[in-house]
Amino acid sequence: MYRISAVCTGNICRSPMAQFCLVRAFENAGLGTAVEVTSAGVTAWEAGRPMDDRAKSELLNHGFPAAGIEAFRARAFEAEEFARLDLILALDNGHLQELQDRAPTEADRDKVRLIRSFDPAAAGVPQEQLGIDDPWYGDMGDFDSSYALISAAVPGVVQYVAAALDSSSGTAR
């Protein structure tokens, strides 16, 4: 099992959108049983709360099932997760730095990547410009933009994980 967590500030906007997009993409790629995707916040500010209504609306507009969205509850990223995760997707540079600073080992630090670093259209863009701004402070247009940036990175994440799974099993895709 390959384990991924998407991480933003409070786990009510960007990281749950990334989680739902990734789960769907891995299922569509036939990897749903080989990959586990979760999400978390670098803070516990929103722990136990449902997803932001605007993030819910964005996901519903893109055909995600209401039951899963309604069942979602925010949680904080815990230090022990480093040991069990294979890939940690930070949604902005602040999250990237926070997670890398918390990583107990260099190997754990290397697991932390910006989600947009997997977007081929972002190749050559300086790292400091790869973050996805927090839509919580904005309107639905900001949620649309966040969703679009997340969605653009998802195929690259799927390709990366598929290659990692292939190399660990010694098979070619």
Query: Is 108 marked active-site?
Result: no
Q: Tell me how far apart the alpha carbons of residues 72 and 131 are, in angstroms, rounded to a whole number.
A: 24
Cβ atoms 62, 19 nearer than 8 A: no
Q: One of 52, 108, 119, 134 is an active-site residue; which one? A: 134
Establish whether 21 is a catalytic residue: no
Of the residues 13, 14, 24, 116, only one is catalytic, namely 14
**Residue of 8, 92, 108, 142 with catalytic role:** 8
Spell out the SS3 assignment of 90-135: ECCHHHHHHHHHHCCCHHHHHCEEEHHHHCHHHCCCCHHHCCCCCH
Distance CA 130, CA 116 (A): 6
- Hey, which residues are catalytic here? 8, 14, 134
